């Protein structure tokens, strides 16, 4: 029986997509722990669509919309000047296709124009409009000019920018009359042999990119060359007016109008004092480069850190005048980009004085590179930034920090100059706009920083100044809340709080900057859970949360320190290597050298040697993200390896363990890693359970962690703020109500108490990640991990390298195995909970947002044709064509998602399949060309494979040890290098090989891709036809009739396959009972496109209302009437009503996957299953609360039929 001193303790196991909780009554006395469960469960929520994916899709949509609008406006100008007819605006493609012209090559027409030929109206439109539809590349983030090679290296512009710069250089050197001649000259070189050489960029080849300024120059040159052409313009003035109107960059949505980039202002957090809820006002944080932030940081460092003489050890105290001298030096005349612990005083004139750091190595106080760059400009133009022009300076800094592109900066700096009536030369604006490294904000606003500095300049130390201004006592004497307010309350939320909580005040609201969306999401669910627990069971006495921070032994801490030193050494060695080789010390090159050296010069995926030449060659090797960035956005060094490109191309975003095991390389891979087993990277690359955790997204990503690298700290601060507010300054003498429990401690306790035996295991005896309920078991262990147990564990970790060798400590913890008030041990108690979950007597809470706004088509347009239905000769269907690339991809096939090489026989079968779908009478030359091309591909592959084998054989002759260096160098130089040169030559030939056939003109026609009928003719699953030129009814449900009509009317359209289902509707039927109908995403639903139901039912449901509507993530009950048994699932947002199917897509609740044995006896695992509603399988909708309680939901009250 529990004593009167028992406490209610909440244990929380918080993951990125889950919360396990256990609220227990605990009686911890004399080493014994009695508990009584009040509530427990696991709450799981699915990952939202990645912000990057949403941003990319949104960006693509907007780019397309803006481009269409710009082009339409350009066409209107052509029509207004009488250069084209109205049809050019309304039906552009057809209008251009109707031109009767022998020479339709726009580049050829342009060259004829500047050579003096008077163009026809049709030629002029075709030649000039094509320039506007692709207006060239413009890097808005690039500075106005680059003065030095160093700046060029710092601003690595990528493949497109490199091509643009290269082509611009060729244009100037060759003095071509038109920029496009840079590209047509390349074509001319190849046209002696080929007739259809591409001028525009092709997939993954951006070498033909031209800058926007070059496009404008081309347009103007071509148009002006026709200024005397009376077929086009009345006079030269009209011609120039046309040019000016087209090239107008000020009017929105003109061809070369560039929308100003948005300010970063809305992304800047509020001040730590004047935050979003401060009744005295809210102010944004100030830039790091602001002199107020620099002075505040300097004075804080002077106050907080002891200064000593580096040689004598004598403590140095600075007077107010000396402090001001240090501040003035670093603001007025800094001589370093970084203020560090070893130069903060020395550089300011105080020789040998440093910050005292005991055994810690030097640290950075503040990076002032941006300040020094701006200071140089301000000094050059005599701007008194500390006194007279300080207000101008502060606003100038905000412009530089808020706007990243030159044009926006120039605009707003000019406005500031006018506002403050500054007599500054125009070059000042461009120099400021060109400044880089304007990133990062301090903790305080400029207003609060100045208030703190005002006190500090009078001699008040930093901490006392914060106290005097009320920063430390901001939330003191706040009442204890019995209800957690939202993390970011809206005005309506605040009204509700004001009405329902008598003690609520706006200034009580918790403000924490830089909380990631994922952490906000977890806090949102946790808040609702805690509020329900408090409402049901009263105040919670203590909350225990598992934290990511680990307890490290002395040896582990020493290893971490050694690792840091090793990283410094690696950086220096990489820099020296590149310097010795006269190679650019760019971040990309440094990273490659470090990885190459770390791996001992070998590819981790294949074990092959990576020679120096290959190491920096992006065509041969690449830096691989071991765990794909599509799974976890970690771009740090520990997630990177250097591998040969050909071995990495097959992995993609697959689980690295699955990928390597499929090739039988996992153990070999681990053996190739030459890192210290105690290093973080070694665990990251080899620890299977850890990798699986990350791949299952149960791992907090580094980008989601706050400054202490743990999301749980933010959660703890939020809970503590409202439930256990401090009553004394700094919380002195107050009890700790929220305890952080480390994962290592929980793991040890589970083993000592025997809980690990209860945890579900997979076939490899590891934690079964298929279960969703293991979070509940972890939460029990966390709740039961008392302060005493933590202390014992902590002492053991620090003192004993082989944990728990001390028998007394181990025995002490074993004796304290928690039991219920009925004497049941924690192990037996959790066993009964597992049994209930496995038999579905207990259900996890799937807390997923109901998705009612699913949008989107699948990527790509489909090519269809009308053909006879192979199943019904009297019926026509729409079947799909496929685009087949005629390139080296013919040598590759997909096997279970992996790229595998095809055998020679398989390649020949593929070629035969392609040939069989071509017309022998009309396409005989293509049939022959493909066979010749394929045979040469096979010959080249055979030669490359043979050379690979020889290289591997020679590499095996290499021996380890310095004494073999001479022999190894000889083998590399005399044998391996020539073989690699031969291989590179064959690889290059394969890369440049083109499938082509001879034409009547003596040139060769290149065959890149073929549109072919699919081998198996079947009805296309495409469901929508989009009419691109229409203003109304732009989308219709696809049918043979409207497809044929569009073809006959030559109406532009695209065919799309629907990506998402808006909802599934179930209709009552006398035989089937519940018939599945699919309603596609909302943009289709809003167009009154009816629910799709199997054609066999005809118009039976035309006037019927659905009995049930299901949206993705709804919880459904499936009742089997024969067995009188119910099962519960999550509706996964899809269904199948084709053929005889009548299925609803589902996911499990207590587990992640479905398993089934196929006809061959192989167990197949799938995350998605399906049920078939019928007369004995009835679907209804339910809800499940946090505690696993089920409640029925009423069927549809009204129709959703449109």
Range with lowest mean pLDDT among 275-284, 962-971, 972-981: 962-971
Going by pLDDT thresholds of 50, 70 and 90, the confidence category of residue 147 is very low
Going by pLDDT thresholds of 50, 70 and 90, the confidence category of residue 1019 is confident
Going by pLDDT thresholds of 50, 70 and 90, the confidence category of residue 704 is very low
Work out the percent of the chain whose per-residue pLDDT is above 90. 42
Asked if 377 and 431 touch (Cβ cutoff 8 Å), the reply is yes
Q: CA–CA separation, 575 vs 582, rounded Å?
A: 11
Range with lowest mean pLDDT among 311-315, 679-683, 819-823: 679-683
**Taking the CA atoms of the chain, what radius of gyration do you get in angstroms?**
35
pLDDT, tens digit (0-9, with 9 covering 90-100), for 1047-1056: 998 888 888 8
pLDDT computed for residue 964 by the predictor: 82
* 1121, pLDDT greater than 90: yes
The predicted model gives 813-826 an average pLDDT of 83
Range with lowest mean pLDDT among 45-54, 344-353, 882-891, 1116-1125: 45-54
The predicted model gives 888-905 an average pLDDT of 83
Please count the other Cβ atoms lying within 10 Å of the Cβ belonging to residue 964.
Answer: 12
Q: CA–CA separation, 600 vs 162, rounded Å?
A: 32
pLDDT computed for residue 858 by the predictor: 65
* 502, pLDDT greater than 90: yes
Range with lowest mean pLDDT among 438-452, 795-809, 1161-1175: 795-809
pLDDT computed for residue 1036 by the predictor: 84
The predicted model gives 921-943 an average pLDDT of 94
End-to-end alpha carbon distance in the chain: 62
* 733, pLDDT greater than 80: no
Asked if 433 and 439 touch (Cβ cutoff 8 Å), the reply is no
Regarding beta strands 864-869 and 845-846, do their DSSP bridges make them parallel or antiparallel, or are they unpaired? unpaired
Going by pLDDT thresholds of 50, 70 and 90, the confidence category of residue 898 is low
Domains along the sequence of the chain with CATH: 7-49+479-550+706-846 (3.30.420.10), 82-232 (no CATH), 265-468 (no CATH), 554-673 (no CATH), 867-1013 (no CATH), 1059-1192 (no CATH)
Range with lowest mean pLDDT among 92-96, 487-491, 624-628, 732-736: 732-736
Range with lowest mean pLDDT among 75-79, 278-282, 374-378: 278-282
- pTM score: 0.71
* 906, pLDDT greater than 80: yes
Range with lowest mean pLDDT among 233-247, 699-713, 949-963: 699-713
Asked if 692 and 657 touch (Cβ cutoff 8 Å), the reply is yes
Of 402, 398, 434, 435, the residue nearest 416 (C-alpha): 398
pLDDT computed for residue 550 by the predictor: 41
Task: Give the count of alpha carbons within 13 A of 977, CB side only.
Answer: 9
DSSP annotation of 420 reads T
pLDDT computed for residue 1031 by the predictor: 75
pLDDT computed for residue 1199 by the predictor: 33
Going by pLDDT thresholds of 50, 70 and 90, the confidence category of residue 559 is low
Q: CA–CA separation, 1083 vs 1020, rounded Å?
A: 21
Alpha-carbon 362 to chain mean position: 34
Output 808 or 981, whichever has higher pLDDT.
981
Of 334, 341, 340, 379, the residue nearest 357 (C-alpha): 341
The predicted model gives 89-97 an average pLDDT of 87
Going by pLDDT thresholds of 50, 70 and 90, the confidence category of residue 404 is confident
Of 512, 504, 507, 516, the residue nearest 487 (C-alpha): 512
Going by pLDDT thresholds of 50, 70 and 90, the confidence category of residue 330 is very high
Going by pLDDT thresholds of 50, 70 and 90, the confidence category of residue 946 is very high
Asked if 221 and 112 touch (Cβ cutoff 8 Å), the reply is no
Regarding beta strands 819-820 and 738-742, do their DSSP bridges make them parallel or antiparallel, or are they unpaired? unpaired
pLDDT computed for residue 639 by the predictor: 84
Mean pLDDT estimate for the chain: 83
DSSP annotation of 264 reads S
Work out the percent of the chain whose per-residue pLDDT is above 70. 84
* 475, pLDDT greater than 80: yes
Ranked by mean pLDDT, the top range of 164-168, 378-382, 708-712, 801-805 is: 378-382
* 360, pLDDT greater than 70: no
* 897, pLDDT greater than 70: no
pLDDT computed for residue 149 by the predictor: 36
DSSP annotation of 280 reads T
Please count the other Cβ atoms lying within 10 Å of the Cβ belonging to residue 301.
Answer: 20
Phi, psi of 974 (to 5 degrees): -85, -30
DSSP annotation of 604 reads T
Q: CA–CA separation, 892 vs 1011, rounded Å?
A: 19
Output 189 or 640, whichever has higher pLDDT.
640
pLDDT computed for residue 150 by the predictor: 35
Q: Which residues contact 801 (CB under 8 A, 6 or more apart)?
A: 553, 555
Going by pLDDT thresholds of 50, 70 and 90, the confidence category of residue 457 is very high
Range 212-217 contact pairs with CB under 8 angstroms and sequence separation of 24 or more: 212/135, 212/136, 212/137, 212/138, 212/256, 213/136, 214/136, 214/167, 214/168, 214/171, 214/179, 215/131, 215/134, 215/135, 215/136, 215/179, 216/136, 216/247, 216/256, 217/179
Please count the other Cβ atoms lying within 10 Å of the Cβ belonging to residue 820.
Answer: 15
Range with lowest mean pLDDT among 78-82, 683-687, 826-830: 683-687
Output 670 or 495, whichever has higher pLDDT.
495
442 burial level (CB within 10 Å; 0-12, 13-18, 19+): buried
Going by pLDDT thresholds of 50, 70 and 90, the confidence category of residue 801 is very low
Range with lowest mean pLDDT among 105-119, 634-648, 1065-1079: 634-648
The predicted model gives 442-452 an average pLDDT of 95
Ranked by mean pLDDT, the top range of 134-148, 591-605, 690-704, 1072-1086 is: 591-605
* 911, pLDDT greater than 90: yes
pLDDT computed for residue 963 by the predictor: 79
The predicted model gives 210-228 an average pLDDT of 92
Q: Which residues contact 38 (CB under 8 A, 6 or more apart)?
A: 8, 23, 24, 25, 537
pLDDT, tens digit (0-9, with 9 covering 90-100), for 286-328: 999 999 999 999 999 999 888 999 888 899 999 999 999 999 9
Range 863-869 contact pairs with CB under 8 angstroms and sequence separation of 24 or more: 863/1011, 863/1055, 864/1020, 864/1022, 864/1043, 864/1055, 865/1013, 866/1040, 866/1043, 866/1044, 867/1017, 869/1019
pLDDT computed for residue 744 by the predictor: 74
* 158, pLDDT greater than 60: no
Two structure tokens written together for 1082: 């909302």
Asked if 1034 and 961 touch (Cβ cutoff 8 Å), the reply is no
* 1201, pLDDT greater than 80: no
Regarding beta strands 996-998 and 1004-1006, do their DSSP bridges make them parallel or antiparallel, or are they unpaired? antiparallel
Going by pLDDT thresholds of 50, 70 and 90, the confidence category of residue 199 is low
Q: What Cα–Cα distance (Å) separates residue 246 from each residue in 62, 198, 994?
A: 22, 27, 40
Of 1016, 1092, 1030, 1027, the residue nearest 1058 (C-alpha): 1092
* 398, pLDDT greater than 50: yes
The predicted model gives 990-1012 an average pLDDT of 86
């Amino acid at each position: 029986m529990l004593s009167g001193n028992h406490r209610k303790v909440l244990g929380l196991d918080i993951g990125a997509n889950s919360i396990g909780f256990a609220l227990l009554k605990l009686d911890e006395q004399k080493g014994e722990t009695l508990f009584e469960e009040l509530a427990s469960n696991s709450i799981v929520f699915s990952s939202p669509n990645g912000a990057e994916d949403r941003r990319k899709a949104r960006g693509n949509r907007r780019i397309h919309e803006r481009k269409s609008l710009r082009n339409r406006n350009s066409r209107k100008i052509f029509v207004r000047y009488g250069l084209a007819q109205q049809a050019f605006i309304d039906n552009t493609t057809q209008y251009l296709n109707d031109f009767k012209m022998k020479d339709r090559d726009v580049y050829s027409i342009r060259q004829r124009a500047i050579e003096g030929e008077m163009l026809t109206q049709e030629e002029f439109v075709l030649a000039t409009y094509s320039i506007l539809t692709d207006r060239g590349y413009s890097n808005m983030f690039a500075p106005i000019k680059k003065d030095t090679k160093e700046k060029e290296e710092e601003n690595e512009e990528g493949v497109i920018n490199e091509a643009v710069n290269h082509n611009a250089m060729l244009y100037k050197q060759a003095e071509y009359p038109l920029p496009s001649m840079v590209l047509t000259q390349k074509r001319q070189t190849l046209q002696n042999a080929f007739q259809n050489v591409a001028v525009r960029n092709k997939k993954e080849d951006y070498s033909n990119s031209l800058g926007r300024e070059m496009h404008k120059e081309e347009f103007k040159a071509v148009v002006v060359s026709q200024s005397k052409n009376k077929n086009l313009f009345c006079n030269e003035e009209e011609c120039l007016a046309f040019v000016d109107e087209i090239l107008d960059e000020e009017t929105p949505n003109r061809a070369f109008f560039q929308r100003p980039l948005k300010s970063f202002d809305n992304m800047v957090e509020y001040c730590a004092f004047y935050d979003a809820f401060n009744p005295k006002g809210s102010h944004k944080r100030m830039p790091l480069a602001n002199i107020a932030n620099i002075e505040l940081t300097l004075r804080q460092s002077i106050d907080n850190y002891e200064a000593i003489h580096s040689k004598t050890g004598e403590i140095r105290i600075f007077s107010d005048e000396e402090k001001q001298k240090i501040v003035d030096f670093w603001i007025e005349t800094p001589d370093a980009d970084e203020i560090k612990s070893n130069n903060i005083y020395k550089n300011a004139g105080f020789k040998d004085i440093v910050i005292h750091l005991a055994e810690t190595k030097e640290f950075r106080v503040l990076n002032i590179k941006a300040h020094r760059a701006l200071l140089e400009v301000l000094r050059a133009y005599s701007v008194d930034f500390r006194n007279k022009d300080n207000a101008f300076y502060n606003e100038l800094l905000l412009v530089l920090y808020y706007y990243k592109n030159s044009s926006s900066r120039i605009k707003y700096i000019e406005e500031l100059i006018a506002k403050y009536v500054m007599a500054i030369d125009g070059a000042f604006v461009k120099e400021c706009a060109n400044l880089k490294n304007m990133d990062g904000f301090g903790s305080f606003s400029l207003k609060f920083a100045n208030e703190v500095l005002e006190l500090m300049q009078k001699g008040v130390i930093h901490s006392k100044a914060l106290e005097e201004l009320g920063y430390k006592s901001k939330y003191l004497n706040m009442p204890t809340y019995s209800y957690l307010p939202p993390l970011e309350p809206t005005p309506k939320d605040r009204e509700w709080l004001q009405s329902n909580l008598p003690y609520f005040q706006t200034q009580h609201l918790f403000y924490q900057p830089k909380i990631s969306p994922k952490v906000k999401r977890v806090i949102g669910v946790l808040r609702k859970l805690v509020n329900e627990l408090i409402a049901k069971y009263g105040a919670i006495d203590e909350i225990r949360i598992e934290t990511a921070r680990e307890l490290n032994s002395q040896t582990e801490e020493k290893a971490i320190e050694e690792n840091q030193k090793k990283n410094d050494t690696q950086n220096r060695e990489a820099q020296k290597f590149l310097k010795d080789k006269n190679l650019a010390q760019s971040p990309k090159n440094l990273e490659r050298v470090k990885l190459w050296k770390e791996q001992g010069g070998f590819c981790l995926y294949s074990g092959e040697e990576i020679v120096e030449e290959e190491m920096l060659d992006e065509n041969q090797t690449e830096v691989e993200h071991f765990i794909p960035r599509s799974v976890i956005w970690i771009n740090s060094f520990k997630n990177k390896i250097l591998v040969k490109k050909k071995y990495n191309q097959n992995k993609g975003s697959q689980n690295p363990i699955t990928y390597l095991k499929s090739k039988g390389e996992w153990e070999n891979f681990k053996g190739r890693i030459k890192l210290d087993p105690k290093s973080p990277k070694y665990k990251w690359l080899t620890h299977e359970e850890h990798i699986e955790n990350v791949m299952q997204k149960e791992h907090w990503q580094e980008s989601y962690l706050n400054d202490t690298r743990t999301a749980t700290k933010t959660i703890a601060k939020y809970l503590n703020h409202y439930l256990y507010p401090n009553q004394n300054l700094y919380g002195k003498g107050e009890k700790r109500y929220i305890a952080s429990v480390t994962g290592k401690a929980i793991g040890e306790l589970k083993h000592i108490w025997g809980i690990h035996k209860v945890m579900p295991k997979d076939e490899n005896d590891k934690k079964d990640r298929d279960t969703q309920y293991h979070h509940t078991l972890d939460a029990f262990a966390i709740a039961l991990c008392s302060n005493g147990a933590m202390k014992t564990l902590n002492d053991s970790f620090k003192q004993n390298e082989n944990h728990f060798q001390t028998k007394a400590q181990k025995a002490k913890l074993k004796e304290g195995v928690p039991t219920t008030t009925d004497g049941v041990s924690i192990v037996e108690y959790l066993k009964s909970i597992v049994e209930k979950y496995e038999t579905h007597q207990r259900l996890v809470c799937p807390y997923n947002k109901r998705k009612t706004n699913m949008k989107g088509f699948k990527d790509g347009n489909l090519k269809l044709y009308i053909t006879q239905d192979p199943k019904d000769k009297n019926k026509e269907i729409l079947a799909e064509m496929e685009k087949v690339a005629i390139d080296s991809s013919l040598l590759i096939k997909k096997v279970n998602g992996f790229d595998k090489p095809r055998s020679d026989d398989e390649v020949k079968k593929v070629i035969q399949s392609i040939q069989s779908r071509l017309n022998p009478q009309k396409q005989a030359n293509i049939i022959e060309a493909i066979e010749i091309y394929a045979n040469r591909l096979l010959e080249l592959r055979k030669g490359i494979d043979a050379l690979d084998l020889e290289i591997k054989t020679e590499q095996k002759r290499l021996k380890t040890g310095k004494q073999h260096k001479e022999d190894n160098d000889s083998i590399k130089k005399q044998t391996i290098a020539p073989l690699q040169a031969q291989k590179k030559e064959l690889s290059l030939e394969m890369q440049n090989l083109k499938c082509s056939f001879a034409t009547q003109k003596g040139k060769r026609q290149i065959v890149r891709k073929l549109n072919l009928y699919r081998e198996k003719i079947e009805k296309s699953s495409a469901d929508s036809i989009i009419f691109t030129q229409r203003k109304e009814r732009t989308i219709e449900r696809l049918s043979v009739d409207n497809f044929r009509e569009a073809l006959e009317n030559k109406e532009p359209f695209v065919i799309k396959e629907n990506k998402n289902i808006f909802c599934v509707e179930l209709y009552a039927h006398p035989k089937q009972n519940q018939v599945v109908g699919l309603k596609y995403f909302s943009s289709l639903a809003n167009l009154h496109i009816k629910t799709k139901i199997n054609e066999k039912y005809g118009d039976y449901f035309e006037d019927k209302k659905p009995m049930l509507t299901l949206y993705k993530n709804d919880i459904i009950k499936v009742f089997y009437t024969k067995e009188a048994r119910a099962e519960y699932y999550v509706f996964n947002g899809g269904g199948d009503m084709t053929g005889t199917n009548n299925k609803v897509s589902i996911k499990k609740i207590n587990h992640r996957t479905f398993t089934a044995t196929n006809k061959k006896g192989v167990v197949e695992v799938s995350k998605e299953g399906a049920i078939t509603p019928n007369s004995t399988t009835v679907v209804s909708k339910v809800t499940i609360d946090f505690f696993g309680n089920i409640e029925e939901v009423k069927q549809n009250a009204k129709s959703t039929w449109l």
